[in-house]
Amino acid sequence: MPSVCCYFQVHQPCRHRHFTFFDIDRDHRYEDDEKNTVILKKVVEKCYLPANRVMLELVRKYKGDFKVAFSITGIVLEQMEIHCPEVIDGFKRLADTGCVEFLSETYYHSLAFLFSRREFKDQVELHKRNIRRLFGQTPKTFRNTELIYNDDLAREVEKMNYKVILAEGADHVLGWRSPNFIYRPAGCLKLKLLLKNYRLSDDVAFRFSDRKWKESPLVADKYAHWIHQINNSGDVVNLFMDYETFGEHQWEEMGIFDFLRSFPREVLKHPDFRFQTPGEAAEEFEPVAQLSVPHYTSWADMERDLTAWLGNHMQNDAVTVLYSLEKKIRKKKDPEALETWRRLQTSDHLYYMCTKWFADGTVHKYFNPYQSPYDAYINFMNILTDFSNTLEKAGRKHDK
């Protein structure tokens, strides 16, 4: 019996305020609290609250036959607890049903694995503890920031005692293979790998409201028929997407919530199909083969690599300076400085500097609060300069 595995990413960064050269050494407030609150509340009203209500309605309606998974960053959980605790309550009610799995990731939605294994492990542990505190689950499934993945990450995650890891089902990795099976990461003995079916996922996440798309309009019975076509040629259909797909990226007026309400019914009409969480699917199905991914992949853009965050000199300069501060910060043993540094690691700050204005340009513009990637870089480097200067001054005082 093939499974449909739905996983949703929940994340909102803490955006920075306009920080000029003249603010350096004068003002150490980096985040735009007002803007972040306004944006969060907008997304809460358009997506999180109505989507949570629909999810709970579906879980109860199908009496456990509909199941989903969420990965919620620590940085957005902090914002929700302060400004929108009703969203946390909604996720708790979903957790109480026993039909929802909460996944593990880096607390600050960072690229830490690429630059500091120690910081990576610390952030994952922080996130795990927060999920346990809020939702009563100890995650066994891991997804890295933006589904960034390679063989090294898989081996490290297996050492951390996770059972399952998620990744992008990129064509250049799979070749002739199908993303609709479970694989064993190269070099791992127990860890299992679930791959996103990006075509079916992106049909909803990106193409749902595209009236020029040849398959428009996308309705639940048509979509379920595409899923049913993998019967006898796959074990699991992994539908991975941003939770903001529902109501924020795809507006309610376009019918996205009606589609969501009808989707489980149409899938379950086929007697061979059911819904499972990533952990359940991995527990039931065995890997069909080993899969080696020596180079990093992600779920971003057409290339599905790291170029959305590390594709130009500005991004590489910013991230080099950022992680060069680690030794100094850890030596300082100042929790406030460590927290500030970690918040600067949120990958969105690098994403805003992306210069890929071709096929994926619209996606980058949609999320970007800056007029240009150059503006994003200057703002971030001004903040880094101020933060570094603050660390230097504190270090000199400590030495004296």
Residue partners of 57: CB distance under 8 A and separation at least 6: 261
Q: What would the two tokens of residue 85 be?
A: 């605790």
Active site residue 81: no
Provide the phi-psi class of 136: left if phi over 0, else alpha when psi is between -120 and 50, else beta: left
Contact, 234 vs 180, CB < 8 A?
yes
Task: Give the DSSP letter string of 290-314.
Answer: EE---S-B-SSTTTTSSHHHHSSHH
Residues linked to residue 166 through DSSP beta bridges, in sequence order: 194
Cα(127)–Cα(360) distance, integer angstroms: 30
**Residue 268 φ/ψ, nearest 5 degrees:** -75, -10
Collapsing DSSP to helix, strand or coil, 211 comes out as: coil
For residues 374 and 377, give the distance between their C-alpha atoms in angstroms, rounded to a whole number: 5
Cβ neighbors of 227 (< 8 A, separation 6 or more) are 4, 200, 237, 267, 273
Find out whether the peptide bond into 217 is cis, omega within 30 degrees of 0: yes
**Is the CB of residue 299 less than 8 Å from the CB of residue 239?**
no
Q: Which of 101, 105, 119, 146 is catalytic?
A: 146
> In this structure, are residues 49 and 57 in contact, taking their beta carbons and an 8 Å threshold?
no
Which residues are tagged catalytic? 146
